[in-house]
């Protein structure tokens, strides 16, 4: 391992590019925890493999896998998917892997955020989390990519950028006392500008209802391109998601991005609401963290916003036959240069996230 850089990305002229910019590859983690992935993670592994194969058709995929689970990964994954051995605490590469940044010369570096399992001992989902906190450093060292080590807690799913100077976040997550209790809104904005290379931060309020990350923005809203945000919709006033969605619309209507543009909003349908069944809950081991308790009737934080923009492709979750087709059609209109690939993703959703949560893009660039 190498020492982290003493500067910040912004000081060095680096910034996080938009997810839709060209990728050098994608990282994922093979699921394993029996208290989060039912039936010994077998159904989840099939779903992860389907996502990996869809992405691997257009960009290289690297799967992080433990020594104990390597054989199961190799049996289900194409030889084209590279396996890299490392120990992890769970399988959310968006949050535990590095966030990559680039500069105008095409150089590539990575940000290693501090990670505390979405809240540490005050509402976090599991303990220990030390292996997950080390993962970004391991990935960057393996790729020979220089590393910035942030001095504060953040997860990759808690941020979204347009690649043109604007970041999108939620108050529910970034202002929570279980992440960075010594940092107020101004301090967090300063840190985001330093490590993402942005100049403007747009704050939404709450996240998707029952999102156990504390309200990650990548489940609620994302940039399709600068000036255009895709939002998880809800048309039922009796659903608690209705108020969240309409508050987000109001905030976006009042916002301007880093270039002074108003924000256009495209609304994806909300699947369900969906709930964990008794059969699904019965396939889980008892959890060692109260924050990750699973049970029959638990509402699942389902959202089509939780998709991945691969090179030439939108990899989206299929969650509800009543809304899958409409969601796919809207994503196709928003990304006419990409083919939409729908992946049955309920098994990923049962673990607490979806396709965007289990992937982490590495943008095109040369390490340096």
Just list the catalytic residues. 357
Q: Nearest-CA neighbor of 36 among 135, 108, 132? A: 132
Nearest to residue 174, comparing CAs of 205, 196, 146?
205
Backbone dihedral angles phi then psi of residue 214, each to the nearest 5 degrees: 95, 5
Query: In this structure, what token pair is assigned to residue 186?
Result: 């101004």
- Long-range contacts, stretch 117-123, CB < 8 angstroms, 24+ apart: 117/89, 117/289, 117/291, 118/155, 118/178, 118/212, 118/213, 118/214, 118/291, 119/176, 119/178, 119/179, 119/214, 119/291, 120/178, 122/177, 122/178, 123/178, 123/214, 123/291
If 0-12 CB within 10 Å is exposed, 13-18 middle and 19+ buried, where does residue 40 land? middle
Cβ neighbours for 266, distance < 8 A, ≥ 6 positions apart: 224, 228, 229, 230, 231, 330, 334
Tokens at 196, concatenated: 């993402």
């Amino acid at each position: 391992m190498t020492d982290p850089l003493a500067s910040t990305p912004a000081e060095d002229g680096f910034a996080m590019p938009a997810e839709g910019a060209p990728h050098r590859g994608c990282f994922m983690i093979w699921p394993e925890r029996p208290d989060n992935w039912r039936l010994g993670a077998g159904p989840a592994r099939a779903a992860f493999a389907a996502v990996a194969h869809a992405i691997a058709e257009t960009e290289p995929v690297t799967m992080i896998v433990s020594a104990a689970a390597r054989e199961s990964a190799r049996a289900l994954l194409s030889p084209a998917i590279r396996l890299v051995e490392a120990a992890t605490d769970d399988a959310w590469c968006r949050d535990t892997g590095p966030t990559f940044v680039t500069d105008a010369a095409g150089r590539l570096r990575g940000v290693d955020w501090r990670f505390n399992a979405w809240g540490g001992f005050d509402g976090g989902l599991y303990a220990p989390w030390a292996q997950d906190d080390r993962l970004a450093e391991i990935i960057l060292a393996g790729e020979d990519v220089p590393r910035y080590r942030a001095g504060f807690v953040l997860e990759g799913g808690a941020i979204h950028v347009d690649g043109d100077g604007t970041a999108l976040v939620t108050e529910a997550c970034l202002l929570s006392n279980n992440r960075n209790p010594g940092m107020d809104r101004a301090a967090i904005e300063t840190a985001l500008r330093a490590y993402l290379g942005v100049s403007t931060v747009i704050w939404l309020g709450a996240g998707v209802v029952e999102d156990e990350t504390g309200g990650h923005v990548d489940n609620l809203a994302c940039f399709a391109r600068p000036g255009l945000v895709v939002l998880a919709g809800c048309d039922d006033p009796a659903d608690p998601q209705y108020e969240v969605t309409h508050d987000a619309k109001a905030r976006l209507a009042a916002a301007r991005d880093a270039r002074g543009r108003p924000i256009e909003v495209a609304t994806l349908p909300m699947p369900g609401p969906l709930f964990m069944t008794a059969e699904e809950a019965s396939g889980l081991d008892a959890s060692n963290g109260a924050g990750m308790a699973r049970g029959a009737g638990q509402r699942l934080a389902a959202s089509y916003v939780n998709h991945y923009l691969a090179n030439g492709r939108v990899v989206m979750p299929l969650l509800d036959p009543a809304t899958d087709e409409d969601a796919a059609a809207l994503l196709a209109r928003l990304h006419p240069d990409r083919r939409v690939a729908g992946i049955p993703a309920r098994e990923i959703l049962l673990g607490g996230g979806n396709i965007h949560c289990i992937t982490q893009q590495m943008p095109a660039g040369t390490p340096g």
